[in-house]
Amino acid sequence: MIDLRFDRVSKRYRIRHEDSAPTRNPLKRVLKRLRAHTEDFWAVRDVSFEVRRGEALGIIGHNGAGKSTILKLLSNITTPTSGEIMINGRLAALIEVGSGFHPELTGRENIFLSGSILGMKRHEIEAKLDQIVDFAGVNEFLDTPVKRYSSGMYLRLGFAIAAHLDADVLLLDEVLAVGDANFQSKCLQRVRELRESGKTIVFISHDLGAVERLCDRALLMERGRLIAEGSPDEVIREYQRKTADLAALTGRKSDVTSGAEIVSISFHNEKGDSVSSLQTGDALIVKVRYRVHREPVESSVEVFFYTPEGELASQLFTSKNVFAERSEGCVEFYCPELGLSPGIYLIDTTIDKDWKFRCASFRVDPGKRFRGRFYMPHTWRFVEEMEEATNERIFARS
């Protein structure tokens, strides 16, 4: 049975361009509006797909690809410009968890308010109240106004309400990133339970590892168009390849006068198995193979990790070495704990004057819990006065 169907759906927005020069004259302001011209922007263009009953579908792509517009169309927040959308059954959308909360009302009152907004009957909310409260972990603060909740408590309660809806189709948009690592694990487990119970799930996320684990099938969107469909691992590989190809278009060419060249680069886990992704905090091995053509070359070997936006995230490098004439070899970099935050990274590598631009891509999935731009490996300990006096160092690894 088909629960969702997109049939040649398009969504157009009109973008208004006006003269940006400020003016206080009311007549001139009216004339500016009359002279303004509009431009059509197609957020979704001629997209068709189906989702079967009990299937989990992932939708991935860069920002602006049209993913969230699809969810807004499915949840009837906006209507299509053309095409048809079919939904079979009751639908629940977890697009902005906590939306609809009133800051002056208590957690208990907001559960009933938000549940009603999401389509639950009062008797349904009463039957699931204890489950929602236990899942969110706000038992002690249930009768406290939510304006006094921390941001984490606020988001946990919002997710708990939406995740306990009795819906046939569940729409998820980046909601599994709420709360700390333990609560994220609970969210993933709850989605798995819903999936195993036969619910149909549409999941949009930049967390490609979660898409790979949770979904049966995936779609890749680019500039409003559907460009790939298939198993999650196939579609994610295509996403990584296209990301690398797009960046390579702007890359510089290697210097043909170089006395040495990069032959290949590969990524491995701690066991030595070849991988295309690891989690933050995992051990990473990077192998760079090189070839020296002419006279001995004095150079270092370097590997650069760039974000898709072109920002340098990190670098691996050797000291300068003399490489023998007409030799081949391999440099192995070992990172005990990968510190990069989750995302796709584009790789440059160089030896002598040979610089391979955007020659590979590597994916980092969520792993070690941290905040900020990168994970900093560290240890910690409690210092006792006696211990401090003897300068003993007993550390616990986080």
Least confident stretch, 42-56, 260-274, 316-330: 316-330
pLDDT of residue 251: 46
Summarised one tens digit per residue, pLDDT across range 248-305 is 544 445 555 678 889 999 999 999 999 888 989 999 999 999 988 877 888 899 999 9
Q: pTM of the predicted model, to two decimals?
A: 0.67
pLDDT surpassing 90 at residue 337: yes
Query: Mean pLDDT, the chain, as a whole number?
Result: 82
Summarised one tens digit per residue, pLDDT across range 80-89 is 999 999 988 8
Mean pLDDT throughout 166-192? 73
Asked whether the beta carbons of 222 and 62 are under 8 A apart, the reply is yes
pLDDT of residue 265: 92
Q: Which helix (H) or strand (E) holds 74?
A: helix 67-74
* 24 confidence band (pLDDT: 50, 70, 90): confident
Cα torsion for 147, 149, 151, 155, to the nearest 10°?
-100
Of the candidates 150, 178, 200, 180, the residue with the CA atom closest to the CA atom of residue 369: 180
For domain 261-365, the CATH class is mainly beta
Mean pLDDT throughout 164-179? 72
pLDDT surpassing 80 at residue 47: yes
Query: In degrees rounded to 5, what are phi and psi of residue 250?
Result: -100, 0
pLDDT of residue 388: 56
Mean pLDDT throughout 319-339? 89
Summarised one tens digit per residue, pLDDT across range 137-170 is 888 888 899 888 887 788 788 878 877 877 788 8
In the three-class reduction of DSSP (H, G, I as helix; E, B as strand; rest coil), residue 126 is classed as helix
Rounded distance between C-alpha atoms, residue 358 and residue 236, angstroms? 18
For 2-243, CATH number out of 3.30.390.50, 3.80.10.10, 3.60.20.10, 3.40.50.300 equals 3.40.50.300
Terminal CA-to-CA distance of the chain, rounded, Å?
48
Q: How do the domains of the chain map onto residue ranges?
A: 2-243, 261-365
Summarised one tens digit per residue, pLDDT across range 113-144 is 877 876 778 888 888 899 889 888 888 888 89
pLDDT surpassing 60 at residue 398: no
Asked whether the beta carbons of 157 and 183 are under 8 A apart, the reply is no
pLDDT of residue 381: 83
pLDDT of residue 64: 81
pLDDT of residue 266: 92
Mean pLDDT throughout 305-319? 88
234 or 388: which leads in pLDDT: 234
pLDDT of residue 302: 94
Residue 369: both structure tokens together: 């819990």
pLDDT of residue 249: 47
Tally of CA atoms within 13 A in the half-sphere of 127 that contains its CB: 8
